[in-house]
C-alpha cells in the first residue's frame, strides 16, 4: 500500500535529493498562529511535517522544545486540538505527510483506539512516540500499524547491530536516526559519522533513513543531506519562532515568516546539496 510518506520519499529520491522534515510544536504560541504556520510550511519548502504533541514531561527534548510545549499548553493546546489542527490542514493540503511526535501518556489518557481512529480520520500519516521501546509494541505500535498509521522508530548512536533488528521489526514509514546522544538541539552532528551510521542502518532495512537532533543551519542540513534520505530540523525552527514573540510570548506579525524564511533557506541547502552529489 502506497502511503503519503512512501510517496514523498520516493519523489524526493527521484529528484536525487533528501527530504526536508520540519518539526514544529502544535499550538505554539497559540492555536491560530500554529495552524497558519502549519499551512505555510509546504510552500516554504518542507517535504514532511513533524507536529509535536505538547506534553508536561518531554524527557527527550531540549530547552527550546520544552519551552514550546509549555507555551502551547498554557495557550490551551490538547491532543484533541492537535488532531483537529491536522484535520484543518488537510482541508487545503492532501499531499504533505504529517507525523505526530510525542509521548505515550497523552495517547494513553485519550484512549489508544479512539486516538488511532481520530488521527487516521484527520489525515495523520505516522507516529513517533519516543518513550515506547519495541518491547512495548502491543501498547501502540501494532494497533497503529493495523489502523493504517506508520509507526516510526528512533535509532541512536548506541543502537548496535544486535539491537537494531529489534528496533526495525515493526518500524514503518521511515527510520528516524538520532544523530547525537542526549536531548534535541544539544549538540552538532558530524556528517561523516552520521553518513556511516545511516549506511549501517540501511544494511538492515529498505526503509528511508531521516536524520535529526542537532541539525540547525542550512550548511549542516546540506552536509547531512548528502548521506541520508531525510534531514529533520526542529529546535532551530522553534528558536526562530520564540525570537519573534513579544515580551508576553504572544505571536507577532513576524512569527510565521520567521520560521518559513529559515525553512526556505534549509530547503534550498538540501536541494543544492543533492544537485552537487548528483553531478
pLDDT tens profile 104-139: 999 999 999 999 999 999 999 999 998 999 999 999
pLDDT digit string, tens, across residues 12-39: 999 999 999 999 999 999 999 999 999 9
Mapped onto helix, strand or coil, the DSSP state of residue 19 is: strand
Q: Enter the DSSP assignment of 37.
A: H
Task: Cite the DSSP H helix spans in 75-127.
Answer: 79-90, 104-110, 112-122
* pLDDT bracket for residue 181 (50, 70, 90): low
The reply to whether omega before 162 is within 30° of 0 (cis) is: no
Under 8 Å between Cβ of 212 and 191? no
User: Of 212, 250, 249, which is closest to residue 60 (Cα–Cα)?
Assistant: 212
Under 8 Å between Cβ of 152 and 126? yes
Give residue 184's pLDDT.
54
Query: What's the CATH code of the domain at 121?
Result: 3.20.20.70
User: Of 65, 22, 25, 49, which is closest to residue 212 (Cα–Cα)?
Assistant: 22
The predicted model gives 206-211 an average pLDDT of 96
Can you give the pTM of this predicted structure? 0.94
What is the C-alpha to C-alpha distance for residues 171 and 154, in angstroms, rounded to an integer?
Answer: 9
The number of domains in the chain is 1
Percent of the chain surpassing pLDDT 70: 94
**Which cell numbers in the block locate residue 244?**
519573534
The parent domain of residue 39 ranges over 4-278
Residue 87 has pLDDT above 60, yes or no: yes
Give residue 279's pLDDT.
42
Give residue 276's pLDDT.
44
* pLDDT bracket for residue 274 (50, 70, 90): low
Mapped onto helix, strand or coil, the DSSP state of residue 133 is: coil
Under 8 Å between Cβ of 245 and 258? no
The predicted model gives 177-191 an average pLDDT of 68
* pLDDT bracket for residue 180 (50, 70, 90): confident
What is the C-alpha to C-alpha distance for residues 133 and 93, in angstroms, rounded to an integer?
Answer: 32
User: Of 237, 195, 250, which is closest to residue 23 (Cα–Cα)?
Assistant: 237
Identified catalytic residue from 50, 118, 137, 229: 50
Residue 197 has pLDDT above 70, yes or no: yes
Q: How does the average pLDDT of the chain come out, rounded?
A: 92
Give residue 248's pLDDT.
96
Identified catalytic residue from 28, 30, 61, 150: 61
Q: Which are the contacts of 195, defined by CB distance < 8 A and separation ≥ 6?
A: 226, 227, 228
Helix, strand, coil shares of the chain as percentages rounded to 5? 50, 15, 40
Q: For the chain, how big is the Rg over CA atoms in Å?
A: 17
Residue 278 has pLDDT above 60, yes or no: no
* pLDDT bracket for residue 183 (50, 70, 90): low
What number of other Cβ atoms are within 10 A of residue 185's Cβ?
Answer: 22
Q: Is 61 a catalytic residue?
A: yes
Q: Is 261 a catalytic residue?
A: no
Under 8 Å between Cβ of 272 and 266? no
Residue 156 has pLDDT above 70, yes or no: yes
Residue 186 has pLDDT above 70, yes or no: no
Amino acid at each position: 500500500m502506497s502511503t503519503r510518506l512512501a510517496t514523498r520519499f520516493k519523489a524526493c529520491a527521484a529528484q536525487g535529493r533528501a527530504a526536508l522534515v520540519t518539526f514544529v510544536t502544535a499550538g505554539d504560541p497559540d492555536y491560530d498562529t500554529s495552524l497558519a504556520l502549519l499551512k505555510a510550511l509546504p510552500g516554504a519548502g518542507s517535504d514532511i511535517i513533524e507536529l509535536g504533541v505538547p506534553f508536561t514531561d518531554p524527557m527527550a527534548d531540549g530547552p527550546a522544545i520544552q519551552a514550546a510545549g509549555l507555551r502551547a499548553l498554557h495557550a490551551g493546546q490538547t491532543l484533541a486540538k492537535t488532531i483537529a489542527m491536522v484535520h484543518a490542514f488537510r482541508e487545503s493540503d492532501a499531499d504533505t505527510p504529517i507525523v505526530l511526535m510525542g509521548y505515550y501518556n497523552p495517547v494513553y489518557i485519550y484512549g489508544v483506539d479512539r486516538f488511532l481512529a481520530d488521527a487516521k480520520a484527520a489525515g495523520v500519516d505516522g507516529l513517533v512516540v519516543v518513550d515506547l521501546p519495541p518491547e512495548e509494541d502491543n501498547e501502540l505500535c501494532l494497533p497503529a500499524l493495523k489502523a493504517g498509521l506508520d509507526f516510526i522508530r528512533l535509532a541512536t548512536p548506541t543502537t548496535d547491530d544486535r539491537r537494531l533488528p529489534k528496533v526495525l521489526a515493526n518500524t514503518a514509514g521511515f527510520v528516524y536516526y538520532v544523530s547525537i546522544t542526549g536531548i534535541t538541539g544539544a549538540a552538532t552532528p558530524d556528517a561523516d559519522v552520521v553518513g556511516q551510521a545511516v549506511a549501517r542502518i540501511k544494511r538492515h532495512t529498505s526503509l528511508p533513513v531521516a536524520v535529526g537532533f542537532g541539525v540547525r543551519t542550512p550548511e549542516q542540513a546540506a552536509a547531512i543531506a548528502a548521506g541520508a534520505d531525510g534531514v529533520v530540523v526542529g529546535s532551530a525552527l522553534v528558536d526562530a519562532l520564540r525570537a519573534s514573540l513579544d515580551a508576553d510570548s504572544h505571536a507577532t506579525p513576524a512569527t510565521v515568516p520567521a520560521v518559513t524564511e529559515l525553512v526556505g533557506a534549509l530547503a534550498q541547502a538540501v536541494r543544492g546539496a543533492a544537485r552537487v552529489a548528483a553531478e
